[in-house]
A and B are shown apart, each in its own frame.
Chain A
Amino acid sequence: MTDEPLSPEASLALIVEEQEAARRRLDVDPGSFLIPWGLAWLVGYGLLFLRYGPDERVLVSMPQWLPLVTLYALLVAAGVVSGVIGYKASHGVAGESAERGVMYGWSWAVGFAGFGVISSRFEPHLPDAQFGLLMGSLPVLITAILYMSGGAVWRDRHQFGFGIWLSVINAAGVLAGPGWHSLAVSVLGGGGMLASAALRHSRRS
């Protein structure tokens, strides 16, 4: 057993190293969620824009079902990746912050399950363009609210501010109409997430 006391320098270095290693594995970096969600939005809403452009223009021809199916598949994948990241960090941790994280994680799952129910209920009753706009804007609204709540729970102004940003582009896109909404969410929402992930990364290294 290597248990001889260390020199003060080595002890301090060991403390820093051990604390950093523990934090890396126990804390969830909110930035790690930005890449899967950013990609899902950039690609999913990007396809929606190209297939269902402003004034019902088809900018790039592709099967009608492709954009929404791609978007939802990518959103589900992003949800699964987020769940795995959250679980890996938080399993085996009990107490206040763990409860907070678990409840917050469930808010995402329950929120999006509710969205699934609403979308299947309204699909047969709305004209295509209106249905598309509703189905495109609800996930953004849910995500925006959850980012704002996450900011409140962890007192993280960046998260809160990003939630506000998403709310604003979502509302502006809905007002501008089908097509424009997809473009705004794809570039300013999804692209914004990827840009802020890149910014976080460059700041850390």
Chain B
Amino acid sequence: MSGAIGLPELDPVIHAQARLRVVAALSALADGDRLAFPRLQGLLDMTAGNLSTHLRKLEEAGYVEVEKTHQGRTPATFVALTRRGRVAFEQYTEDLRALLGTGGEGG
């Protein structure tokens, strides 16, 4: 193992506890699926305002896609991880394992 200098730096966008929960929950969706905002809110048990704030940060980083549509006449908001977000999340998990020294073999 390399010393402290060689250890990976964790992605600060994901490393905040609330955003980590958002990304982890969205990663459970099948590829190509989106989740309605109220359901995501229910899964995470966050307030709407709090969740919106974190989603905006994740959206700015290009990690999630927030789509506003209409179902009949009621507006609906759907959220999904982008490809980039999924990759970033996988990288983050890998970095955590590396920090703990439980990563896969090799570099």
Could you tell me if B30 and A97 are in contact, using CB atoms closer than 8 angstroms? yes
Q: Mark B33-54, 1 if CB is under 8 A from A, else 0.
A: 1111011000110000010000
Could you tell me if A25 and B43 are in contact, using CB atoms closer than 8 angstroms? yes
Q: In whole angstroms, how far apart are the Cα atoms of A19 and B99 in the complex?
A: 21
**Which A residues touch B38, using CB under 8 A?**
92
**Which B residues touch A110, using CB under 8 A?**
none
**Tier of interface size on chain A:** 20 to 34
Is B87 an interface residue when CB atoms closer than 8 A count as contact? no
Min CB gap A24→B, angstroms: 9
Could you tell me if B33 and A97 are in contact, using CB atoms closer than 8 angstroms? yes
Could you tell me if A19 and B28 are in contact, using CB atoms closer than 8 angstroms? yes
A93-B35 contact in complex given A12-B100, A23-B28, C-beta closer than 8 Å:
yes
Could you tell me if A95 and B80 are in contact, using CB atoms closer than 8 angstroms? yes
Number of A-B contacts (CB under 8 A): 89
- Could you tell me which residues of chain B, from 31 to 87, have a CB within 8 Å of some CB in chain A? 31-36, 38-39, 43-44, 50, 78, 80
With an 8 Å Cβ cutoff, the count of chain B residues facing the other chain is 32
Q: In whole angstroms, how far apart are the Cα atoms of A14 and B20 in the complex?
A: 8
**Which A residues touch B36, using CB under 8 A?**
91-94
- The B interface, classified by DSSP as helix, strand, loop or mixed, is helix
Q: Mark A125-166, 1 if CB is under 8 A from B, else 0.
A: 000000000000000000000000000000000000000000
Is B88 an interface residue when CB atoms closer than 8 A count as contact? no
Whose C-beta in chain A lies nearest to the C-beta of B31? A96
Could you tell me if A2 and B43 are in contact, using CB atoms closer than 8 angstroms? no
**Which B residues touch A18, using CB under 8 A?**
20-21, 24-25, 28, 44
Could you tell me if B50 and A1 are in contact, using CB atoms closer than 8 angstroms? yes
Is A8 an interface residue when CB atoms closer than 8 A count as contact? yes
**Which A residues touch B18, using CB under 8 A?**
1-3
A93-B17 contact in complex given A18-B24, A19-B27, A22-B25, C-beta closer than 8 Å:
no
Could you tell me if B96 and A94 are in contact, using CB atoms closer than 8 angstroms? no
**Which A residues touch B93, using CB under 8 A?**
12, 15
Q: In whole angstroms, how far apart are the Cα atoms of A193 and B19 in the complex?
A: 41
Could you tell me if B27 and A11 are in contact, using CB atoms closer than 8 angstroms? no
Is B5 an interface residue when CB atoms closer than 8 A count as contact? no
Residues of B within 8 A of A (CB): 10, 15-18, 20-21, 24-36, 38-39, 43-44, 50, 78, 80, 93, 96-97, 99-100
User: Could you give 29 example pairs across A and B, Cβ below 8 Å?
Assistant: A1-B50, A3-B17, A4-B17, A5-B15, A6-B20, A8-B10, A11-B20, A12-B96, A14-B21, A15-B24, A18-B24, A18-B44, A22-B28, A22-B29, A22-B43, A25-B43, A26-B28, A26-B35, A92-B35, A92-B38, A93-B34, A93-B39, A94-B33, A94-B34, A95-B29, A95-B30, A95-B34, A97-B33, A98-B33
Residues of A within 8 A of B (CB): 1-6, 8-9, 11-12, 14-15, 18-19, 21-23, 25-26, 91-98
